[in-house]
Structure 1
Amino acid sequence: MPTSSASTTDSAKSSASGGVQSLERAFDLLERMADSGGEVGLSELSASSGLPLPTIHRLMRTLVACGYVRQQPNRRYALGPRLIRLGESASRLLGTWARPYLARLVDETGETANMALLDGDEIVYVAQVPSKHSMRMFTEVGRRVLPHSTGVGKALLAHTPADEVRALLSRTGMPAATEKTITTPDGFLAALEDVRRLGYAMDDNEQEIGVRCIAVTIPDSPTSAAISISGPAGRVTEAAKERIVPVLQQVAKELSQALASSGPTS
């Protein structure tokens, strides 16, 4: 009776990139599950990935055993709780990687620099480097805010389909943080159109009176992420904005490249 060698097993097959094929497939399935809202059936995964059902079933069984996927009573598969720990650690590390780039933003703009992620329906700040000015903005790392009143929220939602944006706003509501806060879905969608047209987002006294924030997304980030500067409206003027936006866009591009290569070099 022939025995199978490691070179012929699915777990040891090499992919075109030189990696282990089954690992690449498993991570691809996890990302497809996330893109589908976190819960899918085997047939949906087979249709979207092009993999045969027996292969998907074997991979999912392994992911379930490891706790990264769980099977629902309806037989569909959902992302598992062990991913939460990985995600939290990755978010903290992402903030750590970003700090040298945020420090550059502070040096070149003079204002406080932030990095934020879209986590579910909320914005969470994962890193900050404060301005050297005595009057400066401060947002606690880990703070969560609703996206409709923030520059980073607008930047992160700018390319989300309108129906998904409306659904998010219906879940969160649109409470007014200040008299300048956008409080209608149509108004917010119009603001997102401005973001797409201009290439940056602005919070003009919408989260806090007297404070302006300018934000851009990090292109091709492994998770939706944005960087921003915030400062007193008297310093973050229209003239200052013309100088700050290109700096933000350049730093976002460099941070994107660093993340793609598994972290920045010093």
Structure 2
Amino acid sequence: MQRAMRLLETVAGHEYGAPAKQLARETGLALPTAYHLLRTLVHEGYLRREKGLFFLGEAAERLSSSGAKQKRRSTVADALAHCRDSIGVPVYYAMYREGEIEVMCVSDTPGNPAVEEWADFRETGHAHAIGQCLLSQLDEEARRDHLDRYPVQSLTPYTVRDDRSLLRRLERIRRMEPATERQEYALGTVCAAIPITVGTTAATMALSLPSHQADRLLPAVQRLQREVGRHLGSIALSISI
């Protein structure tokens, strides 16, 4: 296994490919051993051979892509954990992608737990700050398309009542301003979300608090805005996840 990994790493260092003899020499392997391992790696799809030269295959490229994605996710998770600890609240990161609300990462603690997803976040964007913030970044056609697929429904006595009321609210949210909701998704919880736009992708970071701490909501979201400004580069990495 270790010898095969050495071969893969060595091949990866040759953008224009390398012959077996060179790979054997650079890895310190006997030529028959190198040949055997190279044939196995080609058979498994980790390498490909063209005109006597070896290149990384599709399987190795998938591994590389997966590793890069994991690294980006780890970077985003670290940024969220920093915001969580700095402000003392659960922090969420979400994107609007291919017509769906996707919560990409949540960072909380036992003392400050995240909101329980008792109703699918994708289907209830009208009721929570994450969804409202993402929908406010879309154009009118995309908003109406979303609401055609996921109509407004009452989750609590405080939930917005119909599409028209929601659309009016979304229009009032000024560009780059936070969206807030108070007990619209879950009784006993207030939330705020700030927009993050990278290229044409709508994204958001949000926080939640128990409703008896509602007076902390605006100061907390202002701190979150400052933290996002410091970590925007790390957060933007996840756009390509």
Fold agreement, TM-score > 0.5: yes
Q: Residue 105 of structure 1 is aligned with which of 72, 80, 83?
A: 83
Q: Structure 1 residue 120 and structure 2 residue 98: aligned?
A: yes
| Matching residue of 1:243 | 219
What residue number does 1:57 align with? none
1:228 aligns with 2:206: yes
Structure 1 residue 111 displacement after superposition: 1.4
Query: Could you say which residue in structure 2 is the equivalent of 1:170?
Result: 148
Q: Radius of gyration: which is bigger? A: 2
Aligned-partner SS, 1:177: coil
Counterpart AA for 1:210 = G
Counterparts of 1:241 and 1:197 in 2: how far apart (Å)? 19
5+ residue gaps, structure 2, are: 1-64
- Seen in structure 2, the aligned counterparts of structure 1 residues 188 and 113 have a Cα distance that, compared at 3 Å, is same
Q: Aligned residue for 2:232?
A: 256
- In structure 2, the residue matched to 1:46 is none
Matched pairs, number = 174
Other-structure match for 1:214:
192
- Equivalent of 1:130, from 101, 105, 108? 108
Q: Aligned in 2, Cα 1:153/1:136: closer, same or farther, shift over 3 Å? A: closer
Residues 1:157 and 2:143 aligned together: no
SS in 2 for 1:236: helix
Which segments of 5 or more consecutive residues in structure 1 lack a partner in the other structure?
A: 1-86
Q: Which moved more, 1:106-115 or 1:245-254?
A: 245-254
Structure 1 residue matching 2:102: 3-state secondary structure: strand
Distance 1:235 1:136 in 2: 15
- Write the distance in 1 (CA, Å) between the matches of 2:114 and 2:93: 16
Pairwise CA distance, 1:226: 0.9
* Counterpart residue identity of residue 164, structure 1: A
Structure possessing the higher relative contact order (Cα contacts under 8 Å, 6 or more residues apart)? 2
Residues 180 and 204 of structure 1 are in contact (CA less than 8 Å); yes or no, is this contact kept in structure 2?
A: yes
Percent identity of paired positions between Structure 1 and Structure 2: 21
Instruction: Say which SS state the counterpart of residue 212 (structure 2) adopts.
Output: coil
| Aligned position for 1:192 | 170
Which amino acid letter does the alignment assign opposite residue 109 of structure 1? I
